[in-house]
Amino acid sequence: MYESIIESIRRKKVGIDLFDQPLKAVELKKGIYINETMENFYNKMPPEFKSQKQKDIFSSLKYWGDFEILRQIFKYAYKNLGTNILGSSMIVSLPYDLKEDKLGEVWMRMIIDVAMEQKWREVYIADNYFCAALGVGIPANDVGEDGLTRKNIFIYATSWCTYAGIVFAGSLFHMKIINKNYNEITIDEIKSKIEEIKGELSHRLPEHFKNVHVDENELEKLRLGWKLQMGRKIHLAVPRKKRYEFGSSMEDYQFVYADDYEGCIINGLRTLLSELDNMKRARPVRK
């Protein structure tokens, strides 16, 4: 009895992966509590909301672009948490591509508004690439024994494109989107993007950090860390069959593969949820 009372008043923290299928939602303490194919979820939608158009959207994987579908997803995720007296916080993982879209900011604001309509107390946005990076074990702030932050190159091959970029001090730099999915991408294309990223690197700390509130001592450590030579390790999140095709190394690079490719975004959401109160990369909407 007491456990159920405590559970009902516990403020819950939820992450939802809206990037791919199946639809997954994880609660920090409960674990994964939604794991459904989009076909199953579509069949659970109220009849008045079903249409051939929405069914086609589900099958295209880009269901995060339909606000009525999102409304139903957020409502379903909230309802399945059970009694929720104090309200809950939610992190929504969306495709990184939205940042590249001219209407990306407006689109994400609208997605947040839709979620808030469904009783979510706080809503945050995180991109799928950053979640995946955390999920494969790349620290948001990879600090060495010398106290300096390291740069990490991360390659993430998905069902419709492949991302490449640098994770450094909780931010992303030199992001590249290759219009090849995990079946199409080749090791030569990955090598080309790695070389392109390294060729763009400057010893000067990115302008982004001018807007980050850290003391001068920490800022100097970031400057020194950014100047460090890139290591040989390249982190990759690709399906298992691609590991055999790519091998364990390539010329000057040593590959570090994700142990749980399918779960990398959910695992990254778990990490963000555990650090929600101190999170810097997500977008707080209401405190």
The answer to whether the CB of 235 falls within 8 A of the CB of 133 is yes
CB atoms within 10 A of CB 237: 28
Q: Assess if CATH 3.30.420 describes domain 2-128+265-278.
A: yes
Confidence at residue 2, expressed as pLDDT on a 0 to 100 scale: 47
Q: What is the pLDDT along the chain (287 residues), one digit of tens a residue?
A: 545 544 445 578 999 998 877 889 999 988 999 999 888 888 888 787 777 666 676 666 667 777 888 899 999 999 998 866 667 899 999 989 887 776 678 888 888 999 999 989 899 999 999 999 999 999 988 999 999 999 999 999 998 899 999 999 999 999 999 999 999 999 999 999 999 999 999 989 998 888 777 788 888 999 999 999 888 899 999 999 999 899 988 888 899 999 999 999 999 999 999 988 765 444 433 33
The answer to whether the CB of 250 falls within 8 A of the CB of 187 is yes
What crossing angle do the helices spanning 264-274 and 128-135 adopt, rounded to 10°?
90
Confidence at residue 230, expressed as pLDDT on a 0 to 100 scale: 85
Confidence at residue 38, expressed as pLDDT on a 0 to 100 scale: 80
Peptide bond into 22 cis (omega under 30): yes
Confidence at residue 57, expressed as pLDDT on a 0 to 100 scale: 67
Residue 91 pairs in a beta bridge with 15, 124
Confidence at residue 97, expressed as pLDDT on a 0 to 100 scale: 85
Considering the entire predicted model, what is its pTM?
0.88
For the chain, the domains span 2-128+265-278, 138-257
Q: How many Å apart are CA 158 and CA 151, to the nearest integer?
A: 22
Q: How many Å apart are CA 162 and CA 179, to the nearest integer?
A: 7
